[in-house]
Amino acid sequence: MPLNKSEYDKKYCQPLKPPLISWDICCEMHHRKKIPDLPVGGFLKQSLIDFPGYISAIVFTAGCNFRCSYCHNAQLVLPDKIRKASKYDVAELLDWISKNKKMLDAVVVTGGEPTLHKKLPVFLELIKNMDMKVKLDTNGTNPDMLCCLIDYQLVDYVAMDIKAPLEYDRYKEIAGHLFNRKMFESINRSVERLKKGDISHEFRTTLASELSIVDLRSIADIADTNYYIQQLREPGTGNIVKNEISIDSVNEMIRNHPKKEFIHVR
Ligand code: SF4
């Protein structure tokens, strides 16, 4: 059952009631308790490609509820590796963003899966109060938080993975053994929420070896706006990992698809 507005206000948005917290006030009043304890496992100071049109800093949250076969982010996904990886101090990170906001337009929050963390809305509120744009990358398994972030205008753009055709067994094949029916329903709700049309968004699919051209076509059917098919890339080098599906056949599928103007390969 979806949460109604007052239920998700209670669950996620308590700290967002006016007056909004600003980072300066947070620092001045030494409200250390207000600093969200978001587990951050990676931080990139500047990127020109993650939020097209904007210079952005990238925050990688640690923890994920999927176990995709192609995942290269074990240190952000597997609890053992997360424990051993170095953590970022959220206060220092917010301070750095605040001091360098003149050279940034936006912050991209990615993972792992950022919406697993209850403190994400508070973190984004602090970023928005620095007059920055926010892009969220999500696997769509927390539609309640997604609704909250959209309704409170804490995100400007959402990139949501659709990892497989919307069939439970196919999805589980790619999202891994932790995947369950509740997550599947949540993903469907997140897709519907984004398609309401009040938030800029994209859907995207990584070209996993388990996928076929028929799968890609049926995922493209779901998308209402920009849909990106992402080629698998080697971490570090960025080289494209060869797949049984040739890029020519992907391009042919796109040419013959009724929504071809919305479908892109990257
Ligand atoms: S959702 Fe992303 S971070 Fe999580 S396991 Fe899959 S690829 Fe890795």
Q: Please name the amino acid found at residue 163.
A: K
Block residue for tokens 């308590």:
14
Question: Using one digit for the tens of pLDDT, what is the confidence trace for 66-122?
Answer: 999 899 889 999 999 999 888 899 989 999 999 999 999 999 999 999 999 988 988
- Pairing between strand 157-161 and 200-206? parallel
Neighbours of 258 (CB within 10 A): 8
User: Tokens in use for 98?
Assistant: 């605040």
Q: pLDDT value at position 59?
A: 97
111 lines ligand 1 (CB under 6 A): yes
Mean pLDDT of the chain: 88
66 lines ligand 1 (CB under 6 A): yes
Q: pLDDT value at position 4?
A: 62
Q: Does 23 score more than 90 pLDDT?
A: no
Q: Does 28 score more than 90 pLDDT?
A: no
Q: How far apart are CA 216 and CA 166, in angstroms?
A: 11
Q: How far apart are CA 130 and CA 236, in angstroms?
A: 32
Ligand 1, pocket-test mutation among 59, 61, 67, 68, most atoms within 8 A of CB: 68
Domain 5-201 - what CATH class?
alpha beta
64 lines ligand 1 (CB under 6 A): yes
Q: How far apart are CA 249 and CA 252, in angstroms?
A: 5
User: Tokens in use for 67?
Assistant: 């176990």
Q: In angstroms, what is the span from residue 22 Cα to ligand 1's centroid?
A: 31
Closest Cα to atom 3 of ligand 1: 112
171 lines ligand 1 (CB under 6 A): no
Question: Using one digit for the tens of pLDDT, what is the confidence trace for 205-258?
Answer: 999 989 999 999 999 999 998 999 999 887 777 788 877 888 899 999 999 999
DSSP-assigned beta bridge partners for residue 202: 159
**162: region left, alpha or beta (phi > 0 left; psi from -120 to 50 alpha):** beta
Burial class (CB within 10 angstroms; exposed 0-12, middle 13-18, buried 19+) of 66 = buried
Q: pLDDT value at position 151?
A: 87
CB 205 within 8 Å of CB 219: yes
